Amino acid sequence: MQEITVLSPATVANVVCGFDCLGFCLEEPNDLMTVRLVDKKTVKIKHLDDYNLPLEPEKNVAGKALLAVLERIEENIGFEVEITKRIMPGSGVGSSAASAAGAVVAANKLLGERFSQNELVELAMYGEMVASGAKHADNIAPCVLGGFTLVRSVEPMDVIQIDYPTLFATIIHPQIEIKTSYAREILPKEVPLKSAIRQWSDVGSLIAGLQKGDYDLIARSLQDFIIEPVRKKLIPSFDEVKTASMKAGALGGSISGAGPSIFMFSKDLETANQIKDAMNGVYSQTGIDFKIYVSPISSKGVVKQ
């Protein structure tokens, strides 16, 4: 195989109480990427979209991830990549993770599947560092593996797949920009031990709820007393969106990644669509442009088109 085209999906990280560890994979939106093997140790990037992203491999998320791949292999080969980004950068649903994960998963397929899942996540993480400056894998892990993932540790990389029942996500993306660096800056450096205990009790019970397929337990555990109260101030009408979504039948939800997107879980497509209507009702009155996606949690991650 000399060329492969993949769909690399959007993902949600910082799943409510699971800040910096829990993420899940969506079916859409997704990026379209074609990766081609060439017989020179080089990486070339071409973007077929209008996002004006840097094309130098060192500065491009997919490019940097593929350079990391080249460092790990001995053959005198390289990659040419064509990317049609359909996940808007800065939306908070893992746009850069999709580029990085799509690139390394595609490359791995061209190389005969020689890297483990933990290695793929690690390689893609080098790409994402270009965009975020930080070493975190909670969007990359669900993009590579699909489903619901917990990144227990990045050094060494330790990604755990969590079982889960049928779940839908409704995601509203207000078209405003939140700098991830600013969203990080405003976080407290220290938190009360009491709040931390509350949070890890909820993380534990969320995992138990997901593994058992217990929707009530999932709903009870979807609380965040540490990050959400600080970051929600950056997102206009956050509380109104959440309240309207819960009224429409959401199990719970919060900020997706570092925002500005907000996601809400539900048990079925019908409820997910009702939540969409509820979000629409709130945001139509804000004067801010927005997009709403409805997607099941996808078990698949990056897939061959």
Which residue from 175, 191, 233, 268 is in contact with a second copy, where contact means CB under 8 A?
191
153 binds a second copy (CB under 8 A): yes
Query: Given the complex with a second copy, which of 77 and 230 has the nearer CB atom?
Result: 230
Task: Quote the radius of gyration of the chain (alpha carbons, Å).
Answer: 19
Q: Is residue 135 a contact partner of residue 129, using CB atoms and an 8 Å limit?
A: yes
196 binds a second copy (CB under 8 A): yes
Which residue from 99, 199, 237, 256 is in contact with a second copy, where contact means CB under 8 A?
199
Cα separation, 22 vs 61, in Å, equals 22
285 binds a second copy (CB under 8 A): no
CB of 196 to a second copy, least distance (A): 4
Which residue from 54, 133, 188, 213 is in contact with a second copy, where contact means CB under 8 A?
188
Question: Is there a catalytic annotation at residue 3?
Answer: no
Number of residues that bind a second copy (CB under 8 A): 39
Question: Is there a catalytic annotation at residue 180?
Answer: yes
Label each residue of 135-182 as H, E or C. CCCCCHHHHHHCCEEEEEEECCEEEEEECCCCCEEEEEEECCCCCHHH
The catalytically annotated residue of 5, 180, 243, 286 is 180
224 binds a second copy (CB under 8 A): no
Which of these, 192, 123, 164, 150, lies nearest to 251 by C-alpha position? 164
Within 22-41, which residues bind a second copy (CB under 8 A)?
Answer: 22
208 binds a second copy (CB under 8 A): yes
> Which one-letter amino acid corresponds to residue 136?
H
211 binds a second copy (CB under 8 A): yes
Cα separation, 200 vs 226, in Å, equals 11
189 binds a second copy (CB under 8 A): yes
Cα separation, 249 vs 277, in Å, equals 12
Q: Is residue 97 a contact partner of residue 258, using CB atoms and an 8 Å limit?
A: no
CB of 228 to a second copy, least distance (A): 14
Which residue from 176, 217, 219, 269 is in contact with a second copy, where contact means CB under 8 A?
217
